[in-house]
Amino acid sequence: MDILVQARELQHWLTDAALPLWRSKGYDAVGGGFVETIDMKGEPTRDNRRSRVQPRQVYCFAEAGRRGWHGDWRSVAEGGLQYFDRVYRQPSGFYGALADADGHIIDAGFDIYNQAFALLAFAYLGQILPERRAEMVERSNQMRQRLEAHCKHPVAGFEEDNPPRLPLCSNPHMHLFEACLASENLEDFDRVAWANLADEIAHLAMERFIDFETGALREFFDHDWTPFPGEKGRIVEPGHQFEWAWLLLRWAERRGHMQAIVTARRLFDIGETHGICPNRDVAIMTLFDDFSIADPLARLWPQTEWLKAAIRFAALSEGAERQRYLASASRAAAALDRFLQTPVPGLWRDKQKADGTFVDEPAPASSFYHILCAIFELGDCLKRI
């Protein structure tokens, strides 16, 4: 299928179906905040709300507004952050993990992952709302400084709490890396501090997260950043091979770091060669470090990361190599589209079983961050080709 046609169809789905639906049904106009899920009839549920959903949805609507979406993005972006602060923010300045649908905190525990998305929301609100930029700059700096004081790892990166709990994880660093890349280019943000942290995480990934012999990125580590003992330390996720490849490409373009491009290409090749089910043509969830399949389930989000990495490689390539990545991007877009075929347009399926059937469950709001970013990245990269 022509990737240009796919890009137009995805953009129409986002603008005409998804954004209006998640604006009208995905935001709780009575109690505030974003809902966790919407069922397949198009109605919000009362599922408990993970804190990460709030800043992820703030990002979605702020970025949609920045891109020219004419719907009411501002009230939900600002309202979502207000709810995030009111419900999840702890006396420490960090954000807890889980609340019920009435806004009562259930789990106040610390997780770097949730703080990383707070930083992403601060960056995007600071960009789209100039009158709040100074506030977002201050909050962003305070969060970075709190993380460095609370859980800085003695070698590089961050620990999972103080005192540290094991295993240490690459995934929260990936989202911190994303927040750094969003913040380092913004007017009035501390560009030096954010660039330095981005560089630190990039080198940590290339030197510790990624296996020297295979080129695959692992998920779980011991305290000295060696692979965590046992089966857990062998976990390799195809979606994260693609997501880290995309982030390292962005970083490498800014820094002129050629080795990072080589590293990212290997990550992509691993994800594409070993992480795509040949029967369903979708990215699966989990491999072991010998590239054997650990979990054949396919979730929506790895399809978006496959698409983002493939199209950015296409934009950086020429000739036959570009065509190869365009073909891969087209496969990824087709895989994503299968998850978007729902009774109510604007929703999505989250899990596809090994037999090709989808799990019948509500659409999780957390996926919107992945989908929206992939659709905008596809459009941006096609303009460079």
- Decide if 144 contacts 191 (C-beta within 8 A): no
Asked if residues 157 and 147 have their Cβ atoms less than 8 Å apart, the reply is: no
Of the candidates 99, 97, 125, 121, the one whose C-alpha atom is nearest the C-alpha of residue 31 is: 99
Residue 282 per-residue DSSP state: S
- The answer to whether the CB of 379 falls within 8 A of the CB of 313 is no
- pLDDT, tens digit, 9 for 90 and up, residues 68-84: 999 999 999 999 999 99
Examine the pLDDT at 367 and tell me if it is beyond 70. Answer: yes
Rounded Cα distance, 201 and 209, in Å: 10
State the average pLDDT over residues 9-18: 98
Q: Is pLDDT at 157 greater than 70 in this prediction?
A: yes
Give the pLDDT band of residue 1 (cuts 50, 70, 90): low
Domains of the chain, each with CATH number or no CATH: 3-383 (1.50.10.10)
- Give the per-residue pLDDT at 27: 98
Q: Is the pLDDT of residue 6 over 80?
A: yes
Q: Mean pLDDT, to the nearest integer, of 82-94?
A: 98
Which is more confidently placed, 32 or 161?
32
Output the CA torsion sign for 333, 336, 338, 344: negative
Number of CB atoms found within 10 A of residue 279's CB: 10
Given a cut of 90, is residue 219 above it in pLDDT?
yes
Nearest to 326 by CA among 385, 371, 282: 385
Please count the residues of the chain: 385
- For residues 18-44, give the mean pLDDT: 98
∠ CA 277-279-285, nearest 5°, is 25
* Residue 347: band (very low, low, confident or very high) from pLDDT cuts 50, 70, 90: very high
How much is the pLDDT for 311? 98
pLDDT for position 9? 98
**Residue range 199-207: mean pLDDT, rounded:** 98
Summarised one tens digit per residue, pLDDT across range 228-269 is 999 999 999 999 999 999 999 999 999 999 999 999 999 999
* pTM score: 0.98
Tokens of 367: 């996926």
Q: Which amino acid is at 61?
A: F
Percentage of residues in the chain with pLDDT exceeding 70? 100
Do you find a cis peptide bond into 227, omega within 30 degrees of 0? no
**The pLDDT of residue 112:** 97
Average pLDDT over residues 157-175: 95
- Mean pLDDT (the chain) is 98
